Amino acid sequence: MIVGVLALQGAFALHQQRLRDLGVTAPAVRTHAQLDDVDALVVPGGESTTMSHLLRTNELFEPLAKRLGDGMPVFGTCAGMILCASQVEDGRPDQRSFAAIDITVRRNGYGRQLASFEADLDVDALAESFHAVFIRAPRVERVGTDVEVLAEHDGVPVLLRQGACTVSSFHPELTPDGRLHQMFVDSIRES
């Protein structure tokens, strides 16, 4: 199995390391040809409007939209969640998303950089809590009926899954805990 990591902007190298720690081949994806060579993709955190722009200028938006529409598994974290969402509040008018998961998110929904925080989350399917790092995190405001909520913080969904798409409001790559990456890899193997 090859799980690519979108490497246009953001903390992609840490995602690659978490996946490699699990024995998964995790190349950087910057081109259409590289996207064609992967079985699944991690879309990391970063700045969602910048990532949306870079996807267009690198001619990756349409090929990635097609792969996601065809069911390629994706794990979107923070800005990656925004890019995977069906609706984005407080985005730029030219910002696009893939509508890979039926949620509405608000960019920087928890506040600016100074409002960043950490929290221990109870995650479905994990025996022990997961320490999550929220940095300028998106806030989920609506969850579609077919979306599974895997974890919440203060009653707000922060880890969700619908079909082949998993998203988190936080940055799981910023801790040495690889369990969420393992959960994503396992979901690919089971499908």
Nearest one of 146, 141, 180, 143 to 163, comparing CA atoms: 146
Q: Which of 15, 53, 153, 171 is catalytic?
A: 171
Does the annotation mark 173 as catalytic?
Answer: yes
Does the annotation mark 171 as catalytic?
Answer: yes
User: How many whole angstroms separate alpha carbon 50 and alpha carbon 53?
Assistant: 5
Eight-state DSSP code of residue 64 = H
Residue in the structure block whose two tokens are 């490699």? 20
Q: Which of 78, 153, 165, 181 is catalytic?
A: 78
User: How many whole angstroms separate alpha carbon 156 and alpha carbon 188?
Assistant: 26
Q: Which of 153, 165, 173, 181 is catalytic?
A: 173
Does the annotation mark 181 as catalytic?
Answer: no
User: How many whole angstroms separate alpha carbon 145 and alpha carbon 64?
Assistant: 25
Q: Which residues are catalytic?
A: 78, 171, 173
